[in-house]
Amino acid sequence: MVLPFLSLYIEEFGNFSDAYVQNWSGWIFGITFGAAFFVSPIWGRIGDKFGRKNILILSATGMGLSVLLMGFADSVWELFFLRLFMGIFTGFIPMSQALISTQTPKEVAGRVLGTLQTGSVTGNLMGPLLGGVIADLFGYSATFKWVSITIFLSGLLVLFGIREVLHKSEEGTTKETAYTSKQVLLHILGHPVLLAVMLISALVQIAHFSIQPILSLYVAEIHGPASIAFFSGMAFSAAGLGNLLMARRWGRIGDRVGYIKILILLLFMAGLVYFPGAFVTNIWQLVLLRFLLGISIGGVIPVRIAYIRQEAPLSIQGEMLGYNTSLRFLGNVIGPALGGMLSGFFGISSVFFVTSALLIASGVIMLVTWYRNDYAKNSRRKYHTQTLASRSPNHSS
């Protein structure tokens, strides 16, 4: 609800230059994820140990309070520190993913997590439009207060509406193996494709979030100041609509043909769709491209999480997803700052070029890693087969 006009809210604090607003938009947008980068694995480990429902309630309370206070901010620095505080408690959706992942059979994880992603995307779809309407009618400050109410309500729904069930291990027993953080990291490092998937999380977020804090400025540049909050919300929501239509379908396809194959396809598709954004001349062209972007990138999160679910023991799901979330949040920090600097020095169109290149590079990295790992596995399997055959009593040299 507030992301489409965050940069416009900054402009209300004083008579600032365009470059000042663009740079501060990047930093204020990104500082939330900077804080979350450090705390996400900690929350994940605590959730693994004491229950993920409790962390969801704590997250909703902290975020709701910080967003409420943002509605009373009257300086750039106040908004900056409130976004920093919010980052400490950010992680409601990733913890939801961990909660559902641990109680979902791995064979249908893509479809189930795709359904969760559909719920998340529905919020991304409705939020910017609703926020834009409220902002145009009542002002930016009032919108922050309405957002805080929705977050508090989310916490109450978790408190009274969710019962966390003690899951069984993959072997069918309730006894779980305890893992240290060092063992979790070694598990990640020992699986090249899993490591690549988690590193790609950062690159995708850098690419995707580089345009987010300045998208409303781009809308104003190509459309003009009329109903700017509403049309900014529409541009944001177009990607959400495409995401909503395809997230669950991509997850289901990933269950059937393989998560990594679909992930590689989606990365290349997103990279190709982002590039023409630099050449749009009216708001409807931008909205169409954002819709196509949502379709192409809609399956990246559920497919990625489903693969992690497939490769990680249940008892470390929360911490593993915490590290993945940290890398995503690292991308959320770098992306807005990068987008703000690029737009300040070279114009907003340059951000689309860099974003497209990063997504295509991510697809290449994932493809090469997956191919090399698959080739190495086949080579080892062939070697073991030949070794066993040579040791067989019936084998003649």
What's the distance, CA 84 to chain centroid?
Answer: 18
What's the distance, CA 242 to chain centroid?
Answer: 16
DSSP-derived 3-state class of residue 13: coil
Across the chain, mean pLDDT equals 80
pLDDT for 174 equals: 42
Residue matched to tokens 């069930």: 165
Candidates 172, 117, 119, 178; CA nearest to 306 is: 117
Average pLDDT (208-221) is 79
Q: Which domain holds residue 281?
A: 3-161+180-390
pLDDT in tens, 108-137: 766 777 777 677 767 766 777 788 788 888
In DSSP notation, 80-116 reads HHHHHHHHHH--HHHHHHHHHHTTS-GGGHHHHHHHH
d(CA 322, CA 198): 11
Average pLDDT (246-257) is 83
Domain of 99, CATH number, reads 1.20.1250.20
Q: Is the pLDDT of residue 252 over 90?
A: no
Which tokens belong to 309? Answer: 């679910």
Examine residue 169 and state whether it is found in any structural domain, yes or no: no
Residue matched to tokens 């409220």: 134
In degrees, to the nearest 5, what angle opens at C-alpha 44 toward C-alphas 324 and 327?
20
CA distances from 265 to 114, 247, 295, 354 (A): 17, 14, 12, 19
Which tokens belong to 276? Answer: 């023409």
pLDDT for 173 equals: 42
Count the alpha carbons within 13 Å of 123 in the hemisphere toward its beta carbon: 12
Examine residue 168 and state whether it is found in any structural domain, yes or no: no
Q: Is the pLDDT of residue 255 over 90?
A: no
Candidates 302, 296, 308, 236; CA nearest to 267 is: 296
pLDDT for 269 equals: 92
Residue matched to tokens 């300086």: 75
Rg of the Cα trace of the chain?
22
Q: Is the pLDDT of residue 168 over 80?
A: no
Average pLDDT (196-208) is 86
- Residue 213 makes CB contacts below 8 A (sequence gap 6+) with 3, 6, 7, 25, 26, 28, 29, 30, 336, 339, 340
CA distances from 216 to 165, 207, 211, 347 (A): 43, 17, 9, 14
pLDDT for 170 equals: 44
Least confident of 103-117, 139-153, 265-279, 337-351: 103-117
Q: Is the pLDDT of residue 364 over 90?
A: yes
Examine residue 302 and state whether it is found in any structural domain, yes or no: yes
Give first-to-last CA distance, the chain, whole Å: 73
Share of the chain above pLDDT 70, in %: 87
pLDDT for 390 equals: 60
pLDDT for 153 equals: 93
pLDDT for 8 equals: 80
pLDDT for 377 equals: 63
Average pLDDT (326-335) is 81
d(CA 296, CA 308): 20
Most confident of 71-80, 207-216, 323-332: 71-80
pLDDT for 266 equals: 92
CA distances from 234 to 62, 128, 132, 263 (A): 28, 7, 8, 27
Examine residue 228 and state whether it is found in any structural domain, yes or no: yes
Examine residue 174 and state whether it is found in any structural domain, yes or no: no
For the chain, helix (H) and strand (E) counts, in that order, are 16, 0
Candidates 251, 288, 240, 295; CA nearest to 119 is: 240
pLDDT in tens, 51-100: 788 889 999 999 999 999 998 988 889 999 999 999 888 878 777 777 77
Q: Where does residue 393 rank: exposed (0-12), middle (13-18), buried (19+ CB within 10 A)?
A: exposed
Examine residue 171 and state whether it is found in any structural domain, yes or no: no
Q: Is the pLDDT of residue 104 over 50?
A: yes
DSSP-derived 3-state class of residue 252: helix
pLDDT for 387 equals: 58
Average pLDDT (213-219) is 78
Candidates 237, 227, 229, 217; CA nearest to 348 is: 217
Examine residue 230 and state whether it is found in any structural domain, yes or no: yes
Examine residue 216 and state whether it is found in any structural domain, yes or no: yes
Q: How many independent structural domains does the chain possess? A: 1
